[in-house]
């Protein structure tokens, strides 16, 4: 199927997944609400002419990714990562998919609760996904049931603290507590420090 712009592809994608129909919003307004079944949890953001982010509920994520891979030609899993939005209490998984035929990217984003977060594994769709999932399990504590070697430590060794990439983990405090900071090194909040260096009068 031929799509001129990434918006058309997205609307076709929403049609196929049955998650709802694209509303009246257009590309210039970045957030276009999706009317329909799961309107609350679903929205899309078109970042540029070849990059868009869509957000779907966790239980539909794997569906959508398989649809994109099999029916829309997004055959390349660029990366899979998570970002911690602690104030809203969610991890946001980002599956970045790339289409070699159209050279478009679609980032499928999924919100997971921060505690006891679990996501379906996609290690059977892409081989390298298992590695990404091991890293997420280790760095964020997100579980991917069935992913191979998911419980083996990937990067850290003998780590017994909270997963380091969570935002509640303070790396500076941990470093000062664990390693031996050489005395004489003082650190400052850059804004305040440079302000009093550069504009002492203010």
Query: Of residues 113-172, which lie at the interface with another protein (CB under 8 A)?
Result: 118, 120-121, 123-128, 130-132, 143, 145-146, 148-161, 164-165, 167, 169, 171-172
Report whether 143 contacts 113 (CB < 8 A).
Answer: no
Query: What are the residue ranges of helices labelled H in 127-199?
Result: 129-139, 171-178, 190-198
Query: How many residues sit close enough to another protein to count as binding (CB under 8 A)?
Result: 74
Residue 12: Cβ within 10 Å count: 15
Least separation in angstroms between residue 75's CB and another protein is 4
Of 2-10, 19-27, 36-44, 72-80, the window that binds another protein (rule: CB under 8 A) is: 72-80
| Site for another protein, residues 25 to 64, rule: CB under 8 A | 30, 45, 47-48, 50-51, 53, 59, 62
Closest CA to 13 of 97, 126, 123, 112: 97
Least separation in angstroms between residue 21's CB and another protein is 25
Query: Cα(187)–Cα(149) distance, rounded to whole angstroms?
Result: 40
Angle at 46 between CA 92 and CA 80, to 5 degrees: 35
Least separation in angstroms between residue 7's CB and another protein is 17
Q: Which is nearer to another protein, 40 or 198 (CB)?
A: 198
- Tell me the longest C-alpha to C-alpha distance in the chain: 65
Of 10-18, 20-28, 32-40, 73-81, the window that binds another protein (rule: CB under 8 A) is: 73-81
Of 8-16, 20-28, 36-44, 173-181, the window that binds another protein (rule: CB under 8 A) is: 173-181
Report whether 20 contacts 35 (CB < 8 A).
Answer: yes
């Amino acid at each position: 199927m031929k799509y001129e712009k990434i918006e058309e592809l997205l609307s076709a994608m929403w049609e196929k997944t049955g998650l709802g129909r694209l509303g009246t919003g257009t590309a210039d307004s970045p957030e276009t609400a999706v009317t329909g079944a799961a309107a609350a949890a679903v929205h899309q953001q078109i970042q540029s002419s070849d990059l868009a982010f869509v957000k779907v509920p966790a239980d539909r994520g794997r569906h959508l990714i398989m649809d994109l891979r099999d029916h829309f030609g997004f055959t390349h899993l660029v990366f899979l990562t998570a970002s911690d939005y602690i104030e809203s209490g969610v991890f946001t998984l980002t599956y970045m998919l790339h289409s070699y035929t159209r050279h478009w990217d679609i980032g499928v984003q999924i919100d997971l609760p921060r505690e006891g977060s679990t996501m379906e594994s996609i290690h059977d769709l892409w081989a390298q996904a298992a590695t990404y999932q091991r890293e997420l399990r280790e760095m964020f504590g997100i579980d991917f049931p069935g992913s191979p070697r998911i419980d083996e430590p990937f990067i850290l060794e003998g780590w017994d603290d909270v997963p380091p990439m969570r935002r509640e983990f303070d790396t500076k405090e941990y470093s000062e507590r664990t390693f031996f900071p050489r005395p004489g090194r003082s650190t400052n909040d850059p804004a305040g420090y440079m302000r009093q260096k550069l504009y002492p009068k203010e």
